[in-house]
Structure 1
Amino acid sequence: MTSFIIKSHVQRPPHSWKQDSGCAFCRIINNESPSKRVFENDKVVAFLDIMPLRKGHTLVIPKVHYSRLSELPPDYAAAVGEAVSKVAHALTQALGNTALNVVCNQEYAQAVPHVHYHIIPAPNYASPAPTVSPDEEPPLTLRQMHKLEFEGRDELDDDDAVLLVKSIRARL
Structure 2
Amino acid sequence: MAGCVFCGIVAGELPAVRVVDEPDGVAFLDTRPVFKGHVLVVPRTHLVTLADLPTEALAGYFGLVRRLAVAVEAGLDAGGTFVAMNNKVSQSVPHLHTHVVPRTKGDGLRGFFWPRTRYTDDAEARSYADRVSAALASGRS
Which TM-score band applies after superposition, normalised by the shorter structure? 0.7 to 0.9
Offset at 1:126? 7.1
Match of 2:97 among 101, 116, 133: 116
SS state of the match for residue 51, structure 2?
A: helix
Partner of 1:70: 51
Query: Quick check: 1:39–1:87 contact (8 Å CA) kept in 2?
Result: no
| Unmatched tracts of structure 2, length 5 or more | 137-141
Distance in 1 between residues matched to 2:133 and 2:10, nearest whole Å = 18
Query: Quick check: 2:72–2:81 contact (8 Å CA) kept in 1?
Result: no
Tell me whether 1:125 sits opposite 2:117 in the alignment.
no
Partner of 1:13: none
Offset at 1:156? 6.7
Structure in which a larger fraction of residues adopt helix:
1
Partner of 1:28: 9
TM-score of the aligned structures, taking structure 1 as reference length: 0.71
Partner of 1:87: 68
Tell me whether 1:163 sits opposite 2:111 in the alignment.
no
| Unmatched tracts of structure 1, length 5 or more | 1-19, 130-141
Query: Percent identity at matched positions?
Result: 33
**RMSD between aligned alpha carbons?**
2.3
Offset at 1:43? 2.5
Higher relative contact order (CA 8 A, sep 6+): 2
SS state of the match for residue 171, structure 1?
A: helix
Offset at 1:97? 1.5
Distance in 2 between residues matched to 1:46 and 1:93, nearest whole Å = 16
SS state of the match for residue 13, structure 2?
A: coil
Segments of 4+ in structure 1 off by > 6 A? none
Matched residues, number: 134
Offset at 1:98? 3.1
Name which one, 1 or 2, has greater alpha-carbon Rg. Answer: 1
Distance in 2 between residues matched to 1:153 and 1:81, nearest whole Å = 26
Deviation by residue 1:13-52 (Cα, 9 ceiling, x = unmatched): xxxxxxx111000000110001111112113001110111
Distance in 1 between residues matched to 2:134 and 2:58, nearest whole Å = 25
